[in-house]
Amino acid sequence: MVAHPPLVPGVGRTPESRPRSRSRRSEFVIWWREIDRVLLLLVLAVMAIGAAAVAAGSPASARRLSTGAVHLDDLHFFMLHLRWLVIGLAVMFGASCLSRDAARRAGIVLGFAMLVGLILVPVIGSEVNGARRWLNLGISLQPSEFLKPAFAIGLAWILSWRVRDPNLPVIGITFGIMALVGGLLMLQPDFGSTILFVGVWFVLVVLSGISMRRIALAGAGGVAALIAAYVFYGNARHRIDAFLGGGTAFDQVDLAQRTLLSGGWTGTGLWLGTRKLALPEAHTDYIFSVIGEEFGLWVCAVIVLLYLAIIARVLLRLVQEEDLFTVLAATGLTAQLGGQAFINILVNLQLFPSKGMTLPLISYGGSSTVALCLGVGFLLAITRRNPFITREGLHLRDNLPARGHGAKK
């Protein structure tokens, strides 16, 4: 029998026998170098505040929804939120590991799938609180939530075709998609999400570089659509009238504002607020008011600053970006996140009509939390950058709306 020398770790092994952990470790190192760590930290800070906020708002909603037959624990929604948060974080980190091209392909495929889901909602969707927005596929799924990040990526992809052929009718194509999505959303009805989708579309179209005349026409069309919604769409008319009329003492928007201001600058303390008990959706739509009552206005100010910091960070990241798709996609995802956040905040301040829209990354939510985390994951993936490669940057002024007769078509 021939004696074999003892194996020395790392020596004498074939490549197939070496641990795969080394390749995984190298992939993680690459991801960590390329990811925008500042943006990731800002997002995690908002999510941490959101967990505390849901813990504060959970008792109010649990008591409101408890009945003689079913009693919900005060922390019922908080415990559910933690579960969805774990799933959302896994989705976010998984999506952030994608390459830019893979994120684009995933967004496009997701967009087609969710558009089909949106078409099916009026047919087989389930109705909750007078709105038909969910599909029951073993779990409750809201296609419009997952369509939001895919919509921004899909529009950015189509608008970036102009780099290859400036004569392609990309504006008309994106307008048709926007009209289809808006019509399907109004059937649910979901007026708030329709406004958000239109806003993202408008931002991307303007950034892609169209003439001032077309921007003016798009703005006029938006005003006309809003007037038509007021005339023919009862839900929109009711919310606009309530906003313009100032509401009443029993109006939910007025209750939200009173709750928000009742805690002063320092707040009453966790679980010591009382006005939140009258809010209809303390853990979702009006969680910003709960934060104001229990944690104080200074925490509300911190949240606003965090959202502004996320927007500013992405825009600064794009200053030296040379790829038009990346600029448009990242801007669209940021506009969707920031737009939803500030609509919710303005509603709580009674400065905007009630929209039934959650505060992103803070409010309780099932599919909405996962969808928002997926959008952030796409954003992190699209803005990944090799720190050792210098970039000349995309001259955005070449894409800004042209003036005069030489405007781009």
In-domain check, residue 26: no
Beta strand residue intervals within 233-303, DSSP E: none
Q: Mean of the pLDDT values across residues 196-221?
A: 80
Over range 153-167, report the average pLDDT.
88
Q: 379, exposed or middle or buried, with CB in 10 Å at 0-12, 13-18, 19+?
A: buried
Q: State the average pLDDT over residues 166-179.
A: 88
Average pLDDT (100-125) is 90
What percentage of the chain carries pLDDT values higher than 90? Answer: 40
pLDDT tens-digit map of 238-252? 666 666 665 544 567
What angle do helix axes 367-382 and 324-348 make, rounded to 10 degrees? 140
- What's the rounded mean pLDDT across residues 77-99? 93
* Position 85 confidence tier, pLDDT thresholds 50, 70, 90: very high
CA 121-122-123 angle, 5° bins = 90
Q: What is the pLDDT of residue 409?
A: 40
At 288 the pLDDT is 92
Q: Which of 88-92, 132-136, 385-389 has the lowest mean pLDDT?
A: 385-389
CB 403 within 8 A of CB 213: no
Beta bridge partners of 361: none
Coil, strand or helix at 233: coil
Which residues 6+ apart lie within 8 Å of 46 measured at CB? 303, 306, 307, 310, 361, 362
Better-predicted residue by pLDDT, 28 or 44: 44
Asked, for residue 2, whether it belongs to a domain, the answer is no
Quick one: how far is CA 404 from the chain centroid?
A: 36
Amino acid at 22: R
Q: How many domains does the chain have?
A: 1
Q: Provide the whole-model pTM.
A: 0.83
Is the per-residue pLDDT at 389 higher than 70?
no
Task: Note whether residue 54 is domain-resident.
Answer: yes
pLDDT tens, residue by residue, 301-331: 999 999 999 999 999 989 878 888 999 999 9
What is the CA angle 312-285-204, rounded to 5? Answer: 40
Is residue 336 domain-resident? yes
Q: Which two tokens stand for residue 132?
A: 């038909």
Higher pLDDT, 156 or 29: 156
pLDDT at 28: 80
Q: Which of 44, 82, 49, 76 is nearest to 63 (CA)?
A: 76
Work out the burial of residue 409: count CB atoms within 10 Å of its CB; fewer than 13 is exposed, 13-18 middle, 19 or more buried.
Answer: exposed
Average pLDDT, the chain: 82
Containing structural domain, residue 229: 35-397
Q: Can you give the pLDDT at residue 402?
A: 47
Task: Return the top range by mean pLDDT from 68-72, 124-128, 238-242, 400-404.
Answer: 68-72
Residue 91 confidence (pLDDT): 95
pLDDT band at 106 (very low <50, low <70, confident <90, very high): very high
The whole-number pLDDT of residue 224 equals 74
Give kind and range of the element (H or E) at residue 178. helix 170-186
Sequence-distant (6+) residues with CB within 8 A of 8 are none
Asked whether residue 1 is domain-assigned, the answer is no
Q: How far apart are CA 409 and CA 407, in angstroms?
A: 6
Residue 405 has pLDDT above 50, yes or no: no
Evaluate whether residue 209 is within a structural domain: yes
In a domain, 14, yes or no: no
Residues 6+ apart with CB under 8 A from 299: 49, 267, 291, 292
Q: How many DSSP H helices and E strands does the chain contain?
A: 14, 3
The residues, ordered by sequence, that sit 6+ positions from 228 with a Cβ below 8 Å of its Cβ are: none
pLDDT at 298 over 90: yes
**34 vs 16, residue with greater confidence:** 34
Taking the C-alpha atoms of residue 384 and residue 22, their distance in angstroms, rounded to an integer, is: 22
| Six token digits for residue 164 | 């290859």
Is 188 within the bounds of a domain?
Answer: yes
**Quick one: pLDDT band at residue 347, thresholds 50, 70, 90?**
confident
Total Cβ atoms within 10 A of residue 264: 12
